Amino acid sequence: MLHRRALALAALALGLAAAPAARGAAPAAPLRVVTTSTDLQSLVEAVGGARVEVESLAPALHDPHAVEVKPAQIARLRQAALLVRIGLDHEPWLPKALAVAGEPRFARGGAGDVDASRGVRLMQAETPRLRADARPHMHGLGNTHYWLDPENARPMTATILEALARASPPDRAQFEANRRRFLERLGAGLERWQRALAPWRGTRVVVVHETWPYLAARFGLAIVAAAEPTPGVPPTPAELSALITRMRASKVRLVLAEPYSSPELLRQLAERTGARVVTLVPSVGGDPAATDYIALFDVNVKRLGEALAAP
Ligand SMILES: [Zn+2]
């Protein structure tokens, strides 16, 4: 008798404990995602919405090819379901971080590995850069700054959508709806940016690092030279002099720089050619107004438009 009462009480207690879950009141824990950049973070957030919790390994204002991953980030990586990266040779610092994390699912092609370059048509991929010397360089397989063409957000978010839906199948419809909304905002943005930069199509510019060929191609600017003779390698004095001669001869009026470009190099380019230097924002969060992927282009198009319109 006592025994039966104890069972009944136990059943009651179990029933009470199970009640909130049975009513569906307790939401599933968000999917943890780590990305290698703030741009990828913004795109994962756009598709994942409230169902994801995303952290970027690289800070917003930093050379994306040289990142120091902190122990707290390694800990986050171990708890993550997915790692979304730019791919190719963009993140030479990543293999070391992954070796420390010791999570085989994030190895290339592993279950948690998401290569955002899949489906993106790369620029500068036709002549692989093979160097005999040991100087560090990047872009050996093609230019990896492809997120700076807003059209590339279409294949990138398609890859992200598939990865998120694989990790959380019941949320697929929500992810698809989120992506549709994002692509509508992107389409409106593209019209706005094309309109703003239309008067400057064909303008010749020089870049410091080859961060901007995708942006330049999308909006009709012609990059005539890069100050870095090879991506990631600063120019020698002789190379700099040759560039300056070329810029004067072809009357290049604008240099596109990164927030982490060498101030001394920018000073020399400006002083010796009379060109204006405009520092663009390569990644989300690199300017307080660049709050997400769409706002990143609003900020850059505004800066470009002002620099191009200046006398
Ligand atoms: Zn680069």
Tens of pLDDT, residue by residue, the chain (311 residues): 445 555 444 444 444 444 444 455 567 899 999 999 999 999 999 999 999 999 999 999 888 889 999 999 999 999 999 999 999 999 999 999 999 999 999 999 999 999 999 999 999 887 555 544 444 457 888 899 999 999 999 999 999 999 999 999 999 999 999 999 999 999 999 999 999 999 999 999 999 999 999 999 999 999 999 999 888 889 999 999 999 999 999 999 999 999 999 999 999 999 999 999 999 999 999 999 999 999 999 999 999 999 999 87
Task: For residue 82, report the distance from its CA to the centre of ligand 1, in Å.
Answer: 24
Ligand 1: distance of its center to the CA of 118 in Å?
A: 18
Between the CA of 230 and the centroid of ligand 1 the distance, in Å, is 10
Q: Give me the DSSP letters along 35-59.
A: ESSHHHHHHHHHHHGGGEEEEESS-
Res 233: pLDDT: 87
Residue 16 pLDDT: 43
Report which of 257, 243, 173, 171 is spatially closest to residue 209, judged by C-alpha positions: 257
Go through the chain and tell me how many residues it has: 311
State the distance from the centre of ligand 1 to the C-alpha of 209, rounded, in angstroms: 6
Ligand 1 centre distance from Cα of residue 42 (Å) = 20
Q: Which two tokens stand for residue 116?
A: 């955002």
Q: How many A from CA of 89 to the centre of ligand 1? A: 9
Does the pTM surpass 0.85? The reply is: yes
The reported pLDDT for the residue numbered 41 is 98
Q: What is the pLDDT of residue 62?
A: 85
Per-residue pLDDT at 219: 97
* Distance from Cα 211 to the centre of ligand 1, integer Å: 6
Torsion angles phi and psi, residue 223, rounded to 5: -85, 115
- Determine the distance separating the centroid of ligand 1 and the alpha carbon of 197, expressed in angstroms: 24
Q: Using the 8-state DSSP alphabet, how is residue 275 labeled?
A: P
Q: What pLDDT does 132 receive? A: 46
For the chain, percent helix, then strand, then coil, each to nearest 5? 50, 10, 40
Q: What is the pLDDT of residue 230?
A: 85
Per DSSP, the three-state class of 1 is coil
Specify the pLDDT at position 231.
85
Cα-to-centroid distance, 37 and ligand 1 (Å): 13
Cα-to-centroid distance, 190 and ligand 1 (Å) = 24
CA–CA gap between residue 90 and residue 67 (Å, rounded): 11
How distant, in Å, are the alpha carbons of 61, 91, 265 from that of 58? 8, 10, 24
CA of 234 to the centre of ligand 1 (A): 12
Helix (H, G, I), strand (E, B) or coil at 205: strand
Measure 10 CA to ligand 1 centroid, in angstroms. 63
Task: Report yes or no: 208 and 265 within 8 Å, Cβ to Cβ.
Answer: yes
Q: How far is the CA of 240 from the centre of ligand 1 (A)?
A: 19
